[in-house]
Amino acid sequence: MTKPQVLQLNPILIPEVNDELASLYQMHRHFEMADPEAWLQEHGASIQAVITGGHTGIAVPMLERLPALKVVAVNGVGTDAVDLAYCRARGLPVTATLGALTEDVADLAIGLLIAACRNLCAVDRFVRDGQWEQHPQPSAVPLARRFSGMRVGIVGLGRVGRAVAQRAAAFGCPIAYTDLRAMDDVPHRFVPDLVELARDSDALVLCAAADKAEGIVDAAVLDALGPRGFLVNVARGRLVNEDDLAAAIVAGRIAGAGLDVFVDEPRVPDALRRSDRVTLQAHRASATWETRAAMARMVLDSVAQALAGQRPAMSLTT
Ligand code: 8YV
């Protein structure tokens, strides 16, 4: 019997899961194809499942070339790069790895916040480059800012936002948040207006889905956050107007930023790369063995359920 055909758009880094996928399905790794266009032309009609990444998703024109498709399994929690309305109308399950990466993303948010306000990366470079020996006087390194007790404003109080709140609360930080609506099951203060939240916060942590929130962090929000305020983004680069952010960093209109995600990854604006007040990551928030293994297993399950004719448990559209 021929195996079901699966198109994989992004690598999975867990060897056991790759072995299992290869034993169950005929895997087609789009990212390794010499001529993906010609391949799609010839084989698109036989593909029954797509595996893709959270921020890369799959575009509608490609979905239209996969008429036998039974599932889009997103190896991530963000599905903003998949047209859910289109998939819903087509009766196509789109699955996500809901809940698998919450803890790691929240951990990195706190890590970035501490790195930003304590200048961890700049001071690391100061030591590494031999500068400490040349400038041993304590004034050679500027004083940092205390994280414990900072007023933390969370943008998007979903799973990740709540996990960030829990961690920040353990550091004695008063928490406020904004979202589409107030939530009655949390003790945190709801602030409907983002500018007002920024004005009331020492650190703004972005945890929101990007689909309806493109560019919400702009010059007005950054100015409200102010020259003693920090921005952390572990959600999507598109939430931020990156030109406004770069200008605010360069001019010292905000104190610093910790960024894991960018508008046009892997490109990071020069002004952000050059600034010592910005701590950078390469979209790594979910990138631990533990989380990536749990995510990959959920992807396996979703594909298996869909190909067995069941509604995948993690489906967002069916
Ligand atoms: C991953 C993500 O980097 O979950 C998401 O939405 O963006 C990230 O966790 C990505 O999905 C890995 O493929």
pLDDT, one tens digit per residue, over 107-159 is 999 999 999 999 999 999 999 999 999 999 999 999 999 999 999 999 999 99
Tell me the CA–centroid distance for residue 100 and ligand 1, in Å: 11
pLDDT class of 1 with cuts at 50, 70, 90: confident
Tell me the CA–centroid distance for residue 102 and ligand 1, in Å: 11
Kindly name the residue from 28, 162, 236, 292 that is annotated as catalytic.
236
291 lines ligand 1 (CB under 6 A): no
With respect to residue 61, please indicate whether it lies within any of the assigned structural domains: yes
User: In this structure, which amino acid lies at residue 128?
Assistant: R
Same domain for 114 and 42? no
With respect to residue 317, please indicate whether it lies within any of the assigned structural domains: no
Contact 162, 174 (CB under 8 A): no
With respect to residue 318, please indicate whether it lies within any of the assigned structural domains: no
- For the record, the structure tokens of 19 come out as 């072995």
Same domain for 200 and 86? no
| Average pLDDT of the segment spanning 29-35 | 96
Is residue 283 part of the annotated active site? The answer reads yes
With respect to residue 229, please indicate whether it lies within any of the assigned structural domains: yes
With respect to residue 270, please indicate whether it lies within any of the assigned structural domains: yes
pLDDT digits (tens, 9 = 90+) for 90-109: 999 999 999 999 999 999 99
Query: What pLDDT does 212 receive?
Result: 79
54 lines ligand 1 (CB under 6 A): yes
Same domain for 160 and 270? yes
Same domain for 190 and 82? no
Same domain for 167 and 64? no
Query: What pLDDT does 158 receive?
Result: 97
Same domain for 227 and 120? yes
Same domain for 139 and 81? no
The total number of structural domains in the chain stands at 2
- CA dist., res. 225 & res. 203, Å (int): 8
Tell me the CA–centroid distance for residue 120 and ligand 1, in Å: 25
Ligand 1 atom, smallest distance to 285 CA: 9
pLDDT digits (tens, 9 = 90+) for 295-315: 999 999 999 999 999 999 999
- For the record, the structure tokens of 150 come out as 């900072």
With respect to residue 142, please indicate whether it lies within any of the assigned structural domains: yes
Same domain for 261 and 119? yes
pLDDT over threshold 80, residue 8: yes
Same domain for 148 and 231? yes
Same domain for 76 and 45? yes
Does the pTM of the predicted model rise above 0.90? Answer: yes
Is residue 133 part of the annotated active site? The answer reads no
pLDDT over threshold 80, residue 23: yes
| Average pLDDT of the segment spanning 70-98 | 97
Is residue 265 part of the annotated active site? The answer reads yes
52 lines ligand 1 (CB under 6 A): no
pLDDT class of 316 with cuts at 50, 70, 90: very high
pLDDT digits (tens, 9 = 90+) for 205-262: 999 998 878 999 999 999 999 999 999 999 999 999 999 999 999 999 999 999 999 9
Contact 47, 28 (CB under 8 A): yes
With respect to residue 316, please indicate whether it lies within any of the assigned structural domains: no
- Which residue range is the domain that position 303 belongs to? 5-100+290-307
Query: What pLDDT does 211 receive?
Result: 84
User: In this structure, which amino acid lies at residue 50?
Assistant: V
Same domain for 73 and 140? no
Q: Please name the residues in contact with 230: beta carbons below 8 A apart, sequence gap of 6 or more.
A: 113, 116, 117, 145, 202, 203, 204, 254, 255, 256, 257, 258
Same domain for 70 and 109? no
What mean pLDDT, rounded, does the chain reach?
A: 97
With respect to residue 312, please indicate whether it lies within any of the assigned structural domains: no
pLDDT class of 171 with cuts at 50, 70, 90: very high
pLDDT over threshold 80, residue 277: yes
- Domain of 54, CATH number, reads 3.40.50.720
Q: In what order do the strands lie in the sheet with 203-206?
A: 189-190, 175-178, 152-155, 203-206, 230-233, 256-259, 278-280
Contact 272, 259 (CB under 8 A): yes
